[in-house]
Amino acid sequence: MREGRIISSETNRPVIYLVSDSVGETAEFVVRAASSQFNGGDVNIRRIPYVVDKRTIQETVKAAAESNGMIAFTMVVSDLQNYLLKEAKTHGVPVVDIMGPMLKGLSTLYGKEPKREPGLVRKLDDDYFRKVEAIEFAVKYDDGKDPRGLLRADVVLIGVSRTSKTPLSMYLAHKRFKVANVPLVPEVEAPEELYMIPAERCIGLSIDPDQLNEIRRERLRSLGLTARANYANMERILQELEYAEKVMKRIGCPIIDVSNKAVEETASVVLDMLRKGGSRS
């Protein structure tokens, strides 16, 4: 069996320098997982994040040589990779390229070279958490549950019942927009917060009365209720739509007719409005 390197650190533990052009979390996770196979993973990890210059690499290699340690890295910029490998070889420091083999394998699989752009995992993580936050927001402020959310929303959807406010809110949430929605009912005064937000951040949803009547009748049937209920009464529907139109005109918000439109179609119109209005994409 080949004799291992002599550990000379003051803590008598192996020293591993993690060099990354991003945060270095991936390298640390892999190193800790691997080191757990040796004496319970008792290793001295020193993370060197956001490495973008050769001087930092020089200093790290020197420190690793002096501590009789090793280097593991996740840098994707070829120039810095090659420089690190060259310096490590010159100073006799063991070095492990954690991402290299995977990048090579994926290059073969995709038939193209990687982007070589640092921090893409972090960007993907940020995007994911923004989406989760937007979905949680849509659930919390669905159906007018808490008017305070209207002031924090990227967009507020208003309309009578069965104009697809909730599914549209969830669709937009998956696009990372914080959406609140408010049902408009003649007997319930619209929340004052609706008149406090910029008109362009509020979008009214209208619908053809006959189509709404059919949608509501079908809804009642699915619930095992009679289609003669006031909910699906045409006179009642016209009353609700008239009230909703008054509220929308008072706000001065844009209005989308959702008649015969799939949620995806309406969402496309909303997204176009938001982008033209300068909201974030």
Please report which residue ranges of 111-223 form alpha helices under DSSP H: 120-140, 165-173, 209-222
Residue 159 annotated in ligand binding: yes
Query: Is 165 a known ligand-binding residue?
Result: yes
List CB contacts of 165: < 8 A, sequence separation 6 or more.
143, 157, 158, 159, 181, 182, 183, 205
CA–CA separation, 125 vs 128, rounded Å? 5
The CA-to-CA distance between both ends of the chain, in Å, stands at 59
Q: What is the CA radius of gyration of the chain?
A: 29
Residue 251 near residue 199, CB atoms below 8 Å: yes
Answer whether 207's CB lies under 8 Å from 159's CB: yes
Q: How far apart are CA 127 and CA 205, in angstroms?
A: 28
What does the alpha-carbon distance between residue 100 and residue 223 come to, in Å, rounded to a whole number? 58
* Cα separation, 183 vs 166, whole angstroms: 10
Instruction: Give the type of residue at 64.
Output: A
Q: Is 56 annotated as a binding residue?
A: no
Residue 189 CB: number of other CB atoms within 10 A? 8
**DSSP-derived secondary structure letter, 197:** S
Residue 116 annotated in ligand binding: no
Residue 161 annotated as lining a ligand binding site: yes
Residue 181's contacts (CB-CB under 8 Å, 6 or more residues apart) are 141, 142, 143, 144, 156, 157, 158, 159, 165, 166, 168, 169
Residues at the binding site are 159-166
Which amino acids are annotated as binding site for ADP, given as ranges? 159-166
